[in-house]
Amino acid sequence: MSDLPESLLIDIGNSRIKYALVYAGRADFIVQYCMQIAELEPAIIRAQKVLVASVGKGLLVEELQTLCQQHQIECHSMQTQAQQFGISCAYEQFANLGVDRWLAILAARTITSEPVAIVDLGTANTCDIIINNQHIGGWIAPGFSVMKHSLLANTQKVFADNSLPANVVLGTSTPECVNHGCLAAVQGLVMMAELQLKKHAETYQILITGGDQHLITELKQSYFHFFPNLVLLGLSRFL
């Protein structure tokens, strides 16, 4: 067996690039982060092939493909499909579902066969729900930082500081009200996802990923499970 990694998995997100070198025969991997495609070159030259997921970052994908060509490494840019691995997409125009969401959906079915909500918290917050092997739909909402910046930019006499609340309480100053209000909105998305699951099943799971997942750690439930990156796990299904 070659000692080379089998694949380099890349998730080009809104704010940073997440990647992992996945070794042949290994199900686990370490998620790493960078800001520029050029920073991936040391990992690319170690890989046998590259799988990439990106939403709206076409120029970065082209840069990555050029870099892979220079090193004669095959590069595959993944796309959402109507059905894969027996899982069906709720969107009639399935190509409009972001491939990051689709890959997280595919990852979820490697973790649990129960009804499940996949919540990704970052620049945008997304939620998708799977019942059996059918994706039944989801939500897209602004992330904590986007919500906060939009509020400050579009509302008079509202201001905030840079503090990040650990839990939701009632604010007694404008900065506290902004910070805790945005946090309440993030946590509310997760709570509404649970209400949707309760309509379909008595037992279920909620899988939480994304850079802002720490914002809901106070919502301690046995059916909450936290993951560094479900998109990369979804990519690993194609190895």
Q: What is the CATH number of the domain that holds 199?
A: 3.30.420.40
Amino acid at position 187, single letter: Q
Q: 43 lies in a domain?
A: yes
Nearest Cα neighbor of 137 from 197, 184, 188 is: 197
72 exposed, middle or buried (CB, 10 Å; 0-12, 13-18, 19+)? exposed
Q: 224 lies in a domain?
A: yes
- On whether both 37 and 119 belong to a single domain, the answer is no
Give the pLDDT score at 25: 64
- On whether both 212 and 228 belong to a single domain, the answer is yes
- Cβ proximity of 32 and 19 under 8 Å: yes
Q: 207 lies in a domain?
A: yes
Number of domains in the chain: 2
Give the pLDDT score at 5: 73
- On whether both 204 and 99 belong to a single domain, the answer is yes
- On whether both 107 and 222 belong to a single domain, the answer is yes
Alpha-carbon distances of 78 from 50, 56, 97, 100, 214, rounded to whole Å: 10, 13, 12, 9, 28
φ and ψ of 151, to 5 deg? -60, -45
Query: Cα separation of 22 and 28, whole Å?
Result: 8
Q: 154 lies in a domain?
A: no
- On whether both 60 and 89 belong to a single domain, the answer is no
- Cβ proximity of 175 and 161 under 8 Å: yes
- On whether both 59 and 89 belong to a single domain, the answer is no
Residues 6+ apart with CB under 8 A from 237: 85, 106, 107, 110
- On whether both 16 and 129 belong to a single domain, the answer is no
- On whether both 22 and 119 belong to a single domain, the answer is no
Query: Cα separation of 53 and 76, whole Å?
Result: 9
Q: 166 lies in a domain?
A: no
- On whether both 185 and 199 belong to a single domain, the answer is yes
Amino acid at position 112, single letter: T
Q: Which residues are catalytic?
A: 100
∠ at Cα 225 (178, 229), nearest 5°? Answer: 80
**Domain extent at residue 93:** 83-143+177-238
How many residues does the structure list for the chain? 239
- Cβ proximity of 199 and 229 under 8 Å: no
- Picking from 77, 102, 130, the residue at the C-terminal end of a domain is 77
Q: 158 lies in a domain?
A: no
Nearest Cα neighbor of 197 from 120, 136, 121, 111 is: 136
- On whether both 127 and 12 belong to a single domain, the answer is no
Give the pLDDT score at 1: 44
Mean pLDDT by groups of 10 residues along the chain of 239 residues:
77 93 80 96 95 93 97 97 98 97 97 97 96 97 94 82 84 92 96 96 96 90 94 94
- Picking from 27, 48, 77, the residue at the C-terminal end of a domain is 77
- Picking from 61, 77, 93, the residue at the C-terminal end of a domain is 77
Amino acid at position 31, single letter: V
Q: 170 lies in a domain?
A: no
Q: 111 lies in a domain?
A: yes
Residues 6+ apart with CB under 8 A from 199: none
Give the pLDDT score at 160: 76
The alpha carbon of residue 41 and the mean position of all alpha carbons in its chain are separated, in whole angstroms, by 23
- On whether both 96 and 42 belong to a single domain, the answer is no
∠ at Cα 95 (76, 93), nearest 5°? Answer: 165
Nearest Cα neighbor of 160 from 137, 183, 128 is: 183
- On whether both 61 and 134 belong to a single domain, the answer is no
